[in-house]
């Protein structure tokens, strides 16, 4: 696929987030649930509409939410705002990464992580495949582009560097607040960049520039993006939220088995995807699907929450000494698996 330099830069400016055993909580809706008045749920997906949200689009368009007695409305916005809105109850359930949930809870926002969507951490470091950078240690002294010294990518980078006895001061950090680090790498302005496994490496590969990806999962199993809800909403709408989780996990399983089933529902639910060719959509979706499962979810089921990984991440974030997390919240204040139980 040939992509013009201008088109490549535009594609790389888009910040994306986001084999299986049976998923916990994936069950048919209770008899008669669709005959009652539907329960309204406002669902925050974060960022712009994207094929990465295909399970939600498929569950909506195929009527899984409706059959479960739900009237679902999607909202898009940035991760930081979403967690606050969920905590306030303005959004019933939303998608956020674990490294954002931990400091939010530590600061008193009453949210819980209720379902794992990304069982692997989607934030990665990537370089051109032609580069001599193949390992974390190879980053020493190199120019690395990142949107800023904050957020999930910055935490991921510090975890990676720590595994090789390095810190961010051992690199030349170039900041791209407009998310232009992927395009800068393609143009040779930097040696490596942080990004998302289902965004920049995919776009660069389609444009003819293969990449090498350095992942944090083998170093520290940072909890990836998952569904969150406030403690008050969990109590008030427990059955509805559990039905939403079940329908979404059902859609994830179906897409994993056959990614093509997600294309038409996604185009219907997200009209802005109409201008993206099918090959690009499937490439992004394939990279996204790869994030939905891990060794842990293969054993415990899609959507399962790895408490040990959460505890390790919370301890690591306290150890960063940047003031974001002064004290690690107890695990029961971070996660709630009750919505995964049929």
Condensed to tens digits (0 to 9), the pLDDT of residues 205-222 reads 999 999 999 999 999 999
CA atoms of 112 and 292, how far apart (whole Å): 19
Q: Which residues make Cβ contacts (< 8 Å) with residue 16, sequence separation at least 6?
A: 47, 50, 52, 196, 198, 199, 284
May I ask the CATH architecture of the domain 14-120+222-340? Answer: 3-Layer(aba) Sandwich (3.40)
Average pLDDT over residues 135-147: 98
Give residue-wise pLDDT tens across range 277-290: 999 999 999 999 99
Query: What per-residue confidence (pLDDT) applies to 77?
Result: 73
Confidence of residue 193 (pLDDT cuts 50, 70, 90): very high
> Average pLDDT, stretch 167-180?
96
What pLDDT, on a 0 to 100 scale, did the predictor assign at position 26? 42
Where are the CATH 3.40.190.10 domain residues in the chain? Answer: 14-120+222-340, 123-214
> Which band of pLDDT confidence, cut at 50, 70 and 90, is reported for residue 12?
very low
- Is the pLDDT at 160 greater than 90? The verdict is yes
Contact 253, 23 (CB under 8 A): yes
Here the tokens at position 6 are 């201008």
Give the 3-state secondary structure of the chain: CCCCHHHHHHHHCCCCCCCCCCCCCCCCCCCCCCCCCCEEEEEECCCCCCHHHHHHHHHHHCCHHHHCCEEEEEECCCHHHHHHHHHHCCCCEEEEEHHHHHHHHHCCCCEEEEEECCCCCCEEEEEECCCCCCCHHHHCCCEEEECCCCHHHHHHHHHHHHHCCCCHHHCEEEECCCCCHHHHHHCCCCCEEEEECCCHHHHHHHCCCCEEEECCCCCCCCCCEEEEEEHHHHHHCHHHHHHHHHHHHHHHHHHHHCHHHHHHHHHHHCHHHHHCCHHHHHHHHHHHHCCCCCHHHHHHCCCCCCHHHHHHHHHHHHHCCCCCCCCCCCHHHCECCHHHCC
Higher pLDDT, 290 or 34: 290
Say which residues have a Cβ less than 8 Å from residue 120's Cβ, sequence separation at least 6.
215, 217, 224, 290, 291, 293, 294
Q: In the prediction, which pLDDT does 323 show?
A: 82
Res. 293: pLDDT tops 70? yes
Domain range 123-214, its CATH number among 3.30.70.1290, 3.40.190.10, 3.40.50.80, 3.40.1260.10 = 3.40.190.10
């Amino acid at each position: 696929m040939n992509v013009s330099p201008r088109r490549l830069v535009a594609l790389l400016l888009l910040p994306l987030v986001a084999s299986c055993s049976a998923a916990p909580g994936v069950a048919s809706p209770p008899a008669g649930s669709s005959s009652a008045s539907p329960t309204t749920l406002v669902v925050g997906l974060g960022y712009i509409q994207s094929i990465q949200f295909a399970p939600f689009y498929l569950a909506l368009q195929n009527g899984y939410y409706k059959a479960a007695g739900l009237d679902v409305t999607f909202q898009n916005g940035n991760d930081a705002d979403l967690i606050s809105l969920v905590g306030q109850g303005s959004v019933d359930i939303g998608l956020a990464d674990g490294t954002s949930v931990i400091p939010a809870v530590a600061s008193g926002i009453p949210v819980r992580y209720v379902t794992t969507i990304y069982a692997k951490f989607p934030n990665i470091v990537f370089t051109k495949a032609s580069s001599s950078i193949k390992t974390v240690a190879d980053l020493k002294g190199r120019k690395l582009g990142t949107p800023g010294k904050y957020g999930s990518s910055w935490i991921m980078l510090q975890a990676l560097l720590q595994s090789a006895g390095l810190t961010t001061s051992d690199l030349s950090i170039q900041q791209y607040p407009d998310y232009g680090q992927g395009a800068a790498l393609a143009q040779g302005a930097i040696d490596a960049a942080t990004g998302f496994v289902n965004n920049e490496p995919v776009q660069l590969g389609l444009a003819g520039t293969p990449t090498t990806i350095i992942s944090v999962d083998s170093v520290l199993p940072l909890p990836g993006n998952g569904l969150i809800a406030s403690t008050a909403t969990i109590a008030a709408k427990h059955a509805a939220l559990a039905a939403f989780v079940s329908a979404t996990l059902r859609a994830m399983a179906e897409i994993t088995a056959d990614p093509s089933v997600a294309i038409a529902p996604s185009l219907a639910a997200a009209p802005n995807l109409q201008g993206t060719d099918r090959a690009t959509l499937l490439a992004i979706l394939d990279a996204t699907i790869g994030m939905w499962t891990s060794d842990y979810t293969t054993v415990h089921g899609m959507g399962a929450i790895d408490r040990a990984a959460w505890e390790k991440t919370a301890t690591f974030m306290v150890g960063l000494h940047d003031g974001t997390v002064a004290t690690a919240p107890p695990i029961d204040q971070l996660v709630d698996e009750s919505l995964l139980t049929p």
